[in-house]
Structure 1
Amino acid sequence: MKICLMNHFSDKMHPQLQSQGYEVVSENQCDLASSEIEAILLRSKNLHNLSLPKGLLAVARAGAGVNNIPVERMSEQGIAVFNAPGANANAVAEMVLTAILMQVRHVEPALEFTGRLDSHSENLAQQVESEKSQFQGRELQGLKLGIIGLGAIGVLLANKAVALGMKVFGFDPHISVENAWRLSSEVIHKSSLTALLNDCEALSIHVPYMEATHHLLNQEKLALLPAGSFVLNFSRDEVVDRQAVLSALEKEQLSAYITDFPESALLQHDKVMCFPHIGASTKEAQENASTQVIHSLDAFLKRGEIRYSVNLPELPAGEIPNGCSRLLVIHQNRVGMIAQITDCIEEAEENIIEMNNRSREALAVTLIDLQSDKNQELLSEVERLEAVLSVRYC
């Protein structure tokens, strides 16, 4: 199988994939018109305007967001899309804590002050002593931190903040059972966004960007925060209404806005701290994300197992039994599809050893172990079914 690597990856990536039996080509060696490319592994490369290989089975992004991937188009073609949720969670959580400390201890203006000092001045010590009071801050102990979104990043941030003595409030109506178990019992659950906002001195938002979260923090929501609070956005730029933030800063409703998404309207504002999108930029996070998507990709290509897909259902799968073949069918989630597939198998006089079917919204996946070798005629018959998007032997 041939995998195309887009964007830069660590030197470990090629040998790791090659050791698993894959042929690896880089982007400048990759002919996307070739039907030989079966998987694409990328970071930030934009696929929206590219023609993709006809034989493409999967796209995997070494990161959490998939805005650079045309997921809907992939789904229509039965192409699996994988990401690496949680791989960069620790890196982002640590960056948010860094930003909180910088804000409450006035680190940025303090550094600017010392940067302007004359190192040759005879009165240097006296000047420092006379001016340092303007940078008096507060400690993290007791700071009221609100967190919107208790996914992998939100949970880690909440737990770290609790350990540092902060009073932490959390809101997430869709928190998973796994994340609920991982969340510290000291985190105070809020049943509504309004209740959360009313209690915050600092607010950090950690939700994916989608239609429902566009401008989640708008003028109305920001007005619910106590005067003088500050907001941190290391999630996505569009989840916060930038103009509403600027207005709240001018009215002193907010004391500061800290974001990982610099924009021209924010860069020159003295109450805005912008980072150059470095929340997940650690060697550890990048290697974790790469390792995670390689495992997901390998399990899917070789066994039909689906983990961490953004468009297909989770589907566990063990090793293919000796002497058997495994058929993977990605199809529209319609009534009667399993019957149509099994009719094809019956007509081919094949015997089913085990079958698993899972669905996710408009798509479904059927995984079937057959007591026979791979049968190309059966493959062709299943492929002809109207609602089948893709079918292959693993």
Structure 2
Amino acid sequence: MTNIKTYNAISQKGLAYLNAHHYDINGQEEPKGILLRSQNLHNEVIPSSVRAVVRAGAGFNNIPVDTLSKRGVAVFNTPGGNANAVKELTIAALILAARPVVGAIGFANETRGGDVSLRTEVNKGGYRGTELAGKTLGVIGLGNVGSKVANTALALDMDVIGYDPGLNANTAWRIDRHIKHAKTVEEVLRQSDYVTVHIPLTDKNKYFIGGESIKLMKPDAALLNFSRGGIVDDLAAKSALDQDQLRVYITDFADEALFDHPKVIITPHIGGSTVEAEDMSALMAARQLDNYLTTGNIVNSVNYPDIDEPFTTKYRVGIIHDNVPNMIGQISTFFGDKNINIEQLSNRAVGDYAYTLVAINDFTIDQQEYVKVALDSIPHVILTRRYVNDNF
């Protein structure tokens, strides 16, 4: 049985799927795949046997993607698996930013003696808030989460302005036509009463919202971060709060510098922590892992291009290689010179890497033995794998 190593508490939905498809979970054999949530793999030794790493969640900054890419290890995430959960908590945070609910609860619980009902009624004026309706929400990042937040805020009668340079025809359909699209982040920051950020964390966008960005915001604006720790410069946010350049900051990522600040609300990274989200993310992760290990199909990879084709031949050869000229020509020529007929060839590239999936029917044992070694010896080929269709 193929062994899969897991980290963290993975939902039984995902584990049950792997068990049903004849995988061994945390067995004795060297693992072919890793399934995890928040474990920091930067500090782990990843065995050479590993072909794929899948995170049951959207972020992947806990995985050494660059190192694994050079090894030919596909890295996957599960975008959208927890999108509704994060959306709902973001909307809850918007309400907390508009209404001093946290402080009001504390006040109500501390009221003791006499006519409690009368005393709380008399003093409730200190917890007067504002309504979200008619206010402007700025959404930075209109992906799986951001688009849901934007649409829901619109249903709450907010004016919504969004920014996402990666928006295209395939993703724009998710966004209500009444949402205004900004051309720059600065436009969103200047116009919004509330700003919420929903972008992945990369090496290039750490502290995407920093001191200079916050200075562009209205002094009575609220800032929300339910994307990733490091997207917002917490120290810059704290400084802005102290200088009344920002009204409130709500984040799902704990930072000791923010502890006990009266204008900060921190939740302990629970954006995706619902039963439904954990089930959905784990099941997506298990399916993507099984699909890749058994068919060579790549879906929701963060380091290699997606190719998802029906497996209609007896064999497939998957070739991960650098995105450089003449690779398809070299691969096609190789198979032709070996008198191996190609039934179908798929190729896609993203960034520095490309993936070629070759479908074959006639593939003798002798041919199979030398094809991998020969293809791996072609310059710029990173790794070659063979797949067998057991249902053929």
Answer whether TM exceeds 0.5 for this pair: yes
| C-alpha distance in 1 between matches for 2:38 and 2:263 | 30
Match of 1:149 among 135, 141, 146: 141
1:73-112 → structure 2 map (5 Å cutoff)? 73-112=67-106
Equivalent residue, structure 1, for 2:310: 318
Equivalent residue, structure 2, for 1:44: 38
| C-alpha distance in 2 between matches for 1:194 and 1:337 | 42
* Greater relative CO, 1 or 2 (CA 8 Å, sep 6+): 2
Equivalent residue, structure 2, for 1:3: 4
* Secondary structure of residue in 2 paired with 1:378: helix
- Does residue 138 of the first structure (1) align with residue 139 of the second (2)? no
May I ask how many residue pairs the two structures share in their alignment? 383
Which runs of at least 4 in structure 1 moved beyond 3 Å after TM superposition?
none
Equivalent residue, structure 2, for 1:72: 66
- Does residue 338 of the first structure (1) align with residue 328 of the second (2)? yes
Match of 2:107 among 113, 118, 132: 113
* Secondary structure of residue in 1 paired with 2:93: helix
Match of 2:319 among 297, 315, 329: 329
| C-alpha distance in 2 between matches for 1:78 and 1:320 | 25
* Secondary structure of residue in 2 paired with 1:137: coil
Q: Is the contact made by 1:57 and 1:80 (CA closer than 8 Å) also made in structure 2? A: yes
Q: Is the contact made by 1:348 and 1:378 (CA closer than 8 Å) also made in structure 2? A: no
Shift of 1:176: 3.4
Mark the runs of 5 or more structure 1 residues left unpaired by the alignment: none
- Does residue 207 of the first structure (1) align with residue 199 of the second (2)? yes
Q: Is the contact made by 1:303 and 1:320 (CA closer than 8 Å) also made in structure 2? A: no
| C-alpha distance in 2 between matches for 1:250 and 1:337 | 57
- The farther-off stretch of 145-154 and 217-226 is 217-226
Shift of 1:344: 2.8
- The farther-off stretch of 51-60 and 306-315 is 51-60
1:160-179 → structure 2 map (5 Å cutoff)? 160-179=152-171
Shift of 1:330: 0.8
Match of 1:379 among 372, 375, 381: 372
Percent identity for Structure 1 against Structure 2? 36
Q: Which TM-score applies when normalising by structure 2?
A: 0.94
| C-alpha distance in 1 between matches for 2:35 and 2:5 | 6
Shift of 1:318: 0.7
- The farther-off stretch of 72-81 and 378-387 is 378-387
| C-alpha distance in 2 between matches for 1:127 and 1:65 | 47
| C-alpha distance in 2 between matches for 1:137 and 1:358 | 52
Report the residue type matching 2:4 in the other structure.
I
Q: Which TM-score applies when normalising by structure 1?
A: 0.93
* Secondary structure of residue in 2 paired with 1:352: coil
| C-alpha distance in 2 between matches for 1:333 and 1:189 | 33
| C-alpha distance in 1 between matches for 2:233 and 2:370 | 55
Equivalent residue, structure 2, for 1:19: 20
Equivalent residue, structure 2, for 1:353: 343
1:173–1:15: structure 2 CA closer, same or farther, 3 Å change rule? closer
